[in-house]
Amino acid sequence: MVAMHLDLSGKTALVTGSTQGIGEAIAVALARAGARTAVNGRRADVVDEAVARLREVAPGADVVGVPADVSTAEGAASLVAALPEVDVLVNNVGVFGARPALEITDDEWRRYFEVNVLAAVRLTRAYLPGMRERGWGRVQYIASDSAVVIPAEMIHYGVSKTALLGVSRGFAKEAAGSGVTVNCVIAGPTHTGGVEDFVYQLVDRSLPWEEAQREFMRAHRPQSLLGRLIEPEEIGNLVVYLASPQASATTGAAVRVDGGYVDSILP
């Protein structure tokens, strides 16, 4: 039996919104797999700090910083000008927040679609043609369980992630037969910055973290089969697999790394 070795040496990967949280974990995972990895965020100083952290945890990795606000056409254009060729595009940048459904304004709806949907569309439109010409590429969209289980407290976020599922499937058809795969990753409840404070607002603060998060999941996310929060690195692992040559037959898919949170026998 041959062990699977996920090697992205010689490939350039871009992860949008990768200065913290899930995006940073994805960038680390891609760099450790050998990809030249581009870290993106809006502020140059924050991007520089993330690049430095990545180089510490992945010694010898080829890492570059590309500051740009990809939620605007101008920002996306500046990023593409700085990084004209990408083999692995991970559309991770996103915004979320709670708001009563009837209080979400037109401007808020537009902002969520600009950041969560159109940023990904713009970059796919920019990089997919080059991938097709080279006969190899990977495009991924980081969605959420909220795409399928729309949260009542933030339907604008959930609907924007639902839109990403359609965007991903549509561009997969555009890339059909070219050697380029296009997929969506559905992430479940994840342990990111600020989540611990949120958990301790709902459970006994005297509990150790491992016990606290499991109590939180039992009481507030009972549909999870994992029974704990997902670590960002676990999402990064799936992204690296989907970016690898070994995943060449997986395209047009919505692949879940949600701990069984979505109650469905289909992906």
Active-site residue numbers?
A: 157
Q: From CA 6, how far away is CA 250, in angstroms rounded?
A: 15
Instruction: Check: CB of residue 12 under 8 Å from CB of residue 130.
Output: no
Q: From CA 250, how far away is CA 242, in angstroms rounded?
A: 7
Q: From CA 69, how far away is CA 119, in angstroms rounded?
A: 9
The two structure tokens encoding residue 60: 């010898």
The two structure tokens encoding residue 50: 């993330």
Instruction: Check: CB of residue 23 under 8 Å from CB of residue 95.
Output: no
The two structure tokens encoding residue 12: 């350039």
> How many angstroms separate the Cα of 7 from the Cα of each of 90, 146, 171, 242?
17, 31, 25, 12
Which residues face 180 on adjacent strands?
137
Closest by Cα among 13, 58, 53 to 36: 13
Which residues face 182 on adjacent strands?
139
